[in-house]
Amino acid sequence: QKEVEQDPGPLSVPEGAIVSLNCTYSNSAFQYFMWYRQYSRKGPELLMYTYSSGNKEDGRFTAQVDKSSKYISLFIRDSQPSDSATYLCAMSDGTASKLTFGTGTRLQVTL
Amino acid sequence: EAEVAQSPRYKITEKSQAVAFWCDPISGHATLYWYRQILGQGPELLVQFQDESVVDDSQLPKDRFSAERLKGVDSTLKIQPAELGDSAMYLCASSLVTGTDTQYFGPGTRLTVL
């Protein structure tokens, strides 16, 4: 079993929809949680960075962390075609920077 | 805006040949990472440098892969000899310090081994 599980999709939604992306994990030592967006043939870019449990909002993006359930989510409101990309969750225990990534969820937002 | 630079962007080689990838991190970033991303999977750490020293190379296949960061700035990742299973995206990332600091990724080098 992988330390971080993520549904690979693809997930197709119409423009304007609310998108929910999720990851589960098994390592209770993880304290830092990130979401990266990766366009085709590009490197990942950081979207959200959260510590421990709780919510964090940035524009149309909201990240949620539930450490008791070992479950994290990324919500995208008013989705746009430019949001079409692969979304990777990543986690760290904070001691040595090593990030453990999910497999990524491919999202397509259609007109 | 400062970015991580990588070259080449694309590399096609035949198996048993040697290949090398170059990375220039964001200026002032002490920590540099090389990741491998197989199509349809998330990146996996190959090696981590703190300045010129290797901090973690536990997942680096040392029989064929080598990495160096001689002056603590740019870095080179080498594969010799390349195998078919090495076809992947090789990503370089850097962060200001180690620990919980944000990692910034370069555009990657896509390697195809024929």
Give the residue from B22, B20, B26 showing the smallest Cα distance to B7.
Answer: B22
Q: Cβ of A43 and B106 within 8 Å?
A: yes
Place of tokens 């040697």: B18
The pLDDT assigned to A82 comes to: 96
The pLDDT assigned to B89 comes to: 96
Q: What are phi and psi of B108, to 5 degrees?
A: 90, 160
Q: B43 and A44 in contact (C-beta within 8 Å)?
A: yes
The model's pLDDT over A36-74, given as tens digits with 9 standing for 90+, comes to 999 988 899 999 999 888 899 999 999 999 999 999 999
* Enclosing H/E stretch for B45: strand B44-50
The pLDDT assigned to B64 comes to: 97
Give the residues of chain B that fall short of pLDDT 50.
none
The model's pLDDT over A3-40, given as tens digits with 9 standing for 90+, comes to 999 988 899 999 999 999 999 999 999 999 999 999 98
From A4, which residue of chain B is nearest by alpha-carbon distance?
Answer: B42
Residue B5 CB neighbour total at 10 angstroms = 14
From B110, which residue of chain A is nearest by alpha-carbon distance?
Answer: A41
- Tell which of A97, A99, A105 to mutate to test the B interface (max B CBs under 10 Å): A97
Interface residue ranges in chain B relative to chain A, Cβ cutoff 8 Å:
4, 6, 31, 33, 40-45, 48, 55-56, 91, 93, 95, 98-108, 110
Give the list of residues 6+ apart from residue B83 with CB closer than 8 angstroms, or none. Answer: B15, B64, B113
Q: A96 and B99 in contact (C-beta within 8 Å)?
A: yes
Q: B62 and B78 in contact (C-beta within 8 Å)?
A: no
